[in-house]
Amino acid sequence: MVNKTLNDIKSQGTVYWITGLSGAGKTVIGHGLYERLKTTKPNVVFLDGDSLREVFGNDLGYTLDDRYNSAMRNARLCKLLSEQNIDVVCATISMINRCQKWNRDNISRYIEIYVRASLDVIYKRDSKSLYGDGGKGQLRNVWGVDIEAEEPITPEVIIDNDGDKTPEELVEYLMVKVHGLTEN
């Protein structure tokens, strides 16, 4: 935890870091959380990993090192915004434990949310055509295929999203969970 006084921490925004494989539902759940939060907080932003790559100029590839550098860009931006009393909902794969550790060590109000879905479900959803033949396609540098995803070690919230609940139900579950975490 960053060395700050209680008043410093209270004047900072919360970072809701939503991680999971492509197709797990991070963006849908994250956007739903953002929509719910902004009804009571005027200072909330929604960031999506794909959009952030574009904003930063698409100058990084998809190797593990590039993905780490991209994740750290996202993390540093979230920290900067939170220090200006802005709540940030960031939906990004970023399944790298050292990035998540950096977030915990450097972002005072950090809530990690892991959206988990089975590989079978993710391969069927395949909204970005990443997985091809159930993960046996020709693509390289894909999380969960040829890059091993590191599941979060201590997420505050785990959402299982294999399709048995609607996005609205998942967001409601998340709201209940994060409300207890931000009540201070």
Cβ proximity of 122 and 144 under 8 Å: yes
Q: Residue 175 in contact with residue 111, Cβ under 8 Å?
A: no
Beta pairing class for 44-48 and 87-91: parallel
Q: How far, rounded to the nearest angstrom, does the alpha carbon of residue 9 sit from its chain's CA centroid?
A: 21
**What contacts 111, CB < 8 A, 6 or more positions away?**
14, 15, 16, 17, 156, 157, 178, 181, 182
Residue written as tokens 């931000």? 182
Catalytic residue among 22, 82, 94, 108: 94
Instruction: Show Cβ contacts of residue 62 under 8 Å, excluding neighbours closer than 6 positions.
Output: 140, 141, 142
The torsion region of residue 101 among left (phi > 0), alpha (psi -120 to 50) and beta comes to: alpha
Active site residue 129: no
Give me the active site residues, please: 94
